[in-house]
Structure 1
């Protein structure tokens, strides 16, 4: 029961103490942790992808990279911070339009059975660990478009602290409503130019054909005339020999 009350307290503190301080694509939307982490924790949060696009009924992946020390000391007390709490918000935390998407380990009512979070170790060196928290949203609709922020909350003995990423803009596209590309029809001037070109080519071909036919006729006439002269000369020569 005490653990449950503590979770409720942390969630309320997180929601009412975050305020917009940075922008994503020039929109007045962002967030900042209520209490900065101690320098010994080396906490760093980033969202490597600023914009992503997906289709309706498809799926989208939103990444949040967290780098932090798993063990640090504060006022000579050793704290272990291996299990950060991750919250995902659509739009801005602590804003009238902001919506909780994923809190801790469960999705909000709007995203039940449509959202899942996975964690992967990216790098582990000594006490410094880097993890990637990936929020997957399934069966997307156009209303899922918006800016998504991951918020990291760390429980500590002296109070919670955290940080958040710069946001990822998700654009959901309905390809079924997009106009299908059509082949562009040539303009009237282009059609007229092509028509003249075809006529010119046909005229040239016709001239070449007529020229070839005329040349053949002239060649035949010349040949016939030569044959006629030859036959006449042979007939005259043959008549003279008989006399």
Structure 2
């Protein structure tokens, strides 16, 4: 029964606070939640980071919320209900932002693609700390953008809330990225390099043959000179003996 009454209350809040999007300015892309009294000790933190995921992959966003279950305000005691955490894309409100997950359900676009889990981190001295995790599956490039965590708390004094700083998601389509190709030389370039190598080898071979031929000629000339010298010496010795 309490759950049904809470859902009716939440629906009435949405109906009576709705304003047409056309009347909003760009500067209204901000948190529109009513801040709670300091005695409620409400605090929330959302990592202001950028995460990258592939198409058809998945991404997770975290939001930590801590608050008192009982607090006093102006000498009165108030009991807080369980916080309602919603997630919006682009802006942290339902007017200029796009709802991704609201309370316990997702809009039609994210049905079977988004869910939210809650993990109790700490609970003592009437202070509860919880981690809300939004998971989005089967990602596509249109899912890229900033995702904001928005919390709303209902009390007998009224509704309060706060907004996270936003986490950016970049979805990359690996299949559309150009694949690196190895630079293979063309057939004409390979043929040109082959002729160049053959020409250089031919020149080296000619130089080698020329050097060998020069060495042979030098040896023949030297041998011929040595032969003439020996012949001259022998003739000179014979004449001297006579």
Give TM-score, length-normalised by structure 1.
0.69
Matched-pair contact (CA < 8 Å) for 2:86–2:101: yes
1:53 alignment partner, SS class: strand
- The answer to which of 202-211 and 218-227 deviates more is 202-211
Q: How far does residue 88 in structure 1 lie from its aligned partner after superposition? A: 1.0
- The answer to which of 231-240 and 61-70 deviates more is 231-240
Judged with a 3 Å threshold, the aligned counterparts in structure 2 of structure 1 residues 195 and 2 are, in CA distance, closer, same or farther, namely: same
Matches within 5 A, 1:153-232: 153-182=152-181, 209=208, 212-213=211-212, 216-217=215-216, 219-221=218-220, 224-225=223-224, 228=227, 232=231
- The answer to which of 166-175 and 5-14 deviates more is 5-14
Judged with a 3 Å threshold, the aligned counterparts in structure 2 of structure 1 residues 198 and 101 are, in CA distance, closer, same or farther, namely: same
Across the aligned residues of Structure 1 and Structure 2, the Cα RMSD in angstroms comes to: 5.4
1:176-226 deviation line (CA, Å, top 9, x unaligned): 223333457999999999999989987996796477446634653455346
Judged with a 3 Å threshold, the aligned counterparts in structure 2 of structure 1 residues 195 and 242 are, in CA distance, closer, same or farther, namely: same
Q: Which has the larger radius of gyration?
A: 2
Structure 1: runs of 5+ lacking an equivalent: none
Structure 2: runs of 5+ lacking an equivalent: none
2:27 alignment partner, SS class: coil
Matched-pair contact (CA < 8 Å) for 1:19–1:93: no
Provide the residue aligned with 2:66 in structure 1: 67
1:93 alignment partner, SS class: coil
Distance 1:240 1:92 in 2: 127
Q: How far does residue 153 in structure 1 lie from its aligned partner after superposition? A: 1.3
Q: How far does residue 89 in structure 1 lie from its aligned partner after superposition? A: 1.6
Distance 2:123 2:2 in 1: 33
Q: How far does residue 163 in structure 1 lie from its aligned partner after superposition? A: 0.5
- The answer to which of 174-183 and 136-145 deviates more is 174-183
Judged with a 3 Å threshold, the aligned counterparts in structure 2 of structure 1 residues 11 and 199 are, in CA distance, closer, same or farther, namely: farther
Matched-pair contact (CA < 8 Å) for 2:30–2:93: no
Matched-pair contact (CA < 8 Å) for 2:21–2:96: no
- Aligned residue pairs, count: 242
- The answer to which of 23-32 and 217-226 deviates more is 23-32
Q: How far does residue 58 in structure 1 lie from its aligned partner after superposition? A: 0.8
- The answer to which of 39-48 and 194-203 deviates more is 194-203
Q: How far does residue 165 in structure 1 lie from its aligned partner after superposition? A: 0.8
1:120-172 deviation line (CA, Å, top 9, x unaligned): 35566755554332111001122222322111111212112110112223222
1:8-55 deviation line (CA, Å, top 9, x unaligned): 3225426865999999999973323x3211102222223213332222
Matched-pair contact (CA < 8 Å) for 1:64–1:150: yes
Q: How far does residue 60 in structure 1 lie from its aligned partner after superposition? A: 1.0
Distance 1:113 1:72 in 2: 38
Provide the residue aligned with 1:235 in structure 2: 234
